[in-house]
Amino acid sequence: MANAQDPGGLLATLDALLPDLESLYTDLHAHPELSMQETRTAAIAADRLRAAGYEVTTGIGKTGVVGLLRNRDGPTVMLRADMDALPVKELTGLPYASTVTATDAEGRNVPVMHACGHDMHVAWLAGAATLFGRARTAWRGTLLTVFQPAEEIATGAQAMIDDGLFTRFPRPDVVLGQHVMVGAAGVLGWRAGVMTSAGDSLQIRLFGRGAHGSMPQASIDPVVMAAATVLRLQTIVSRELAASEAAVVTVGALQAGTKENVIPDEALIKLNVRTFDEGVRTRVLAAIERIVKAEAAASGAPRPPEITPLDRYGAVVNDAEATRRVVEAFHRSFPAERVQEVAPTSASEDFGCFGAQWHVPAVFWFVGGTDPESYRNARAAGRLGELPTNHNPRFAPVLHPTLRTGVEAAVSAAMGWLAP
C-alpha cells in the first residue's frame, strides 16, 4: 500500500495502473537498447503518450520523444527520463533478464543490459504522464515530458537541444528529473546545490618505438611509459589537491601490445575524472596533460602524446528555491523518514544541460531501489559497498516499492507548480 497522500486526486488510479507499469518495466528491462539506438523504447514511449492524450513529437536528437499536454493556463513543467542501456552482460538471474546483444558505435557485438535503471525511469515517466492525462481537473498548466536518448555517452540531452528542443516547445518554469540509485527502496534523496559531479573521460595515446622483446635497448617502450603515467596520475588527488577538495581520477583501460616478446609501438590509456568544483576540474585536467606529456618526454618518445576528450558531463546543480518547493511537495506526500537530504554523488548526468542552457531552475533527486531489508542489513554490517551499484551486471532495482515511489515522486514534484 502507498504511504503517499494523493496530490489533487492524481494518484487515485495508480493502484489499477501499477500492473500495467510493471509489465512495461519488465518488457523494457528484457529489451534494452544502446545509446542512440533506442528506437523500440522510443516508440513505446510515444504510443503511451498518444494514448494519454499528449501532442507527441518523435525523432528529436535522433531517438528522443517529447510529449506536450496543455491543460488550461498555468505554469509549464518539464519531466525528463533517459532511455538508453549499457554494453554490460546481465548477471541478475531475474526471469526478465536481458539476453540482448547489439552492435555498438565501433562495430563490435556487445551484450546489452539496463544496468543503470533507465528502464525504471521510462516506466516512472510513462506512469506519471498517464495519471496527469487522466485527471485533468486536478491540475492546470502545461506538462512537457521528455524521453531522452544517450545519457550514458553524455550526448543525448545536447542532441535534443541542438535539434530544436528549446525552440519547438514551450519554455518550462522548472525542469525535473529523478534517478534510481542504491538506497532503501521507497526513500527519496535530495539536496540543494551540486547533486552530481562533473565527469570528463579522456583517451591518451602514447607513442614509442617497437622492438624485439630480447632487445629492449632498441626500443622506446610505451608499456613502461604507460605504466609510469598511470602511477603518476594517482598523485594528482593525493598530492595536488587539498583534503577539502574532492576529485576522482580513474584509469579504466590500459592497452598495449599483442605478444609477450614484442615491444609495441603504442599504448592506449582511457581515464575518467569526476569533480564537484569547476576550479578543481580545470586544475585536474591541466595536471593530467602535464603528467602525460612529461612522462612521454622523459621516455624520449618520438612524438608527443595525443590526448582526446571522449565525453563531458557538467555537474548537476539544483536550484535552491526550486529544490525547496520540491521538498515541500515531497513532505506533503511522503512520511518524513522517506524524504532525506543526501551528500553529492560522484556519479555524473547530462540532465543539467536542460536547466543550465534553458536558463531555468532544475531539480534532480534520487529514488532508492535496493530491497529495504537488504539495505538495512548491509548498513548495519558495514557492507554497503558490497551492494550492486549502478553499472554493475547484478544491478536491478526491486520492483516494489521502487516503481510506485518514482511515479508518486514525479507527480508530487510536478504538482508543486501545477496544483490549481
SS (H, E, C) 395-416: CCCCHHHHHHHHHHHHHHHHHH
Residues 208 and 189 in one domain: no
Residues 6+ away with beta carbon under 8 Å from 68:
54, 55, 56, 57, 142, 143, 144, 145, 169, 170
Note whether residue 241 is domain-resident: yes
Give me the number of domains the chain comprises. Answer: 2
Residues 77 and 202 in one domain: no
Residues 6+ away with beta carbon under 8 Å from 307:
202, 203, 204, 288, 289, 292
Contact 143, 150 (CB under 8 A): no
**How confident is the model at residue 1, as a pLDDT?**
37
Residues 190 and 327 in one domain: yes
**How confident is the model at residue 66, as a pLDDT?**
98
Instruction: Give Cα 360 distance to the centre of its chain.
Output: 20
Residues 48 and 113 in one domain: yes
**How confident is the model at residue 55, as a pLDDT?**
98
Kindly give the residue spans of alpha helices, DSSP state H, lying in 150-277.
Answer: 156-162, 165-168, 222-233, 235
Note whether residue 62 is domain-resident: yes
Given the C-alpha cell 558505435, which residue does it identify? Answer: 105
Residues 256 and 346 in one domain: no
Average pLDDT of the residues of the chain: 96
Note whether residue 295 is domain-resident: yes
Residues 294 and 337 in one domain: no
Q: Residue 331 annotated as binding?
A: no
Count the neighbouring beta carbons within 10 Å of the beta carbon of residue 232: 17
Q: Residue 391 annotated as binding?
A: yes
Note whether residue 118 is domain-resident: yes
Low-confidence residues in the chain, pLDDT < 50? 1-4
Residues 325 and 259 in one domain: no
- pTM (two decimals): 0.93
238-248 burial code (b ≥16 CB/10 A, e <16): eebbeeeebbe
Q: Residue 328 annotated as binding?
A: no
Residues 271 and 385 in one domain: no
Note whether residue 2 is domain-resident: no
Q: Residue 278 annotated as binding?
A: no
> In this structure, which amino acid lies at residue 296?
A
Residues 6+ away with beta carbon under 8 Å from 231:
none
End-to-end CA distance of the chain: 27
| Domain-ending residue, one of 282, 312, 342 | 312
Cell of 40: 523500440
Structural domain including 287 reads: 198-312
Note whether residue 1 is domain-resident: no
> In this structure, which amino acid lies at residue 211?
A
Note whether residue 381 is domain-resident: yes
Determine whether 160 is exposed, middle or buried from the number of CB atoms within 10 Å of its CB (0-12, 13-18, 19+).
buried
**How confident is the model at residue 5, as a pLDDT?**
66
| Domain-ending residue, one of 264, 286, 312 | 312
CATH assignment at residue 279: 3.30.70.360
CATH assignment at residue 95: 3.40.630.10
Q: Residue 121 annotated as binding?
A: no
Note whether residue 339 is domain-resident: yes
Cell of 130: 498517464
User: CA separation (Å) from 15 to 2, 20, 405, 407?
Assistant: 9, 10, 12, 11
- Interstrand relation of 211-212 and 247-256 (parallel, antiparallel or unpaired): unpaired
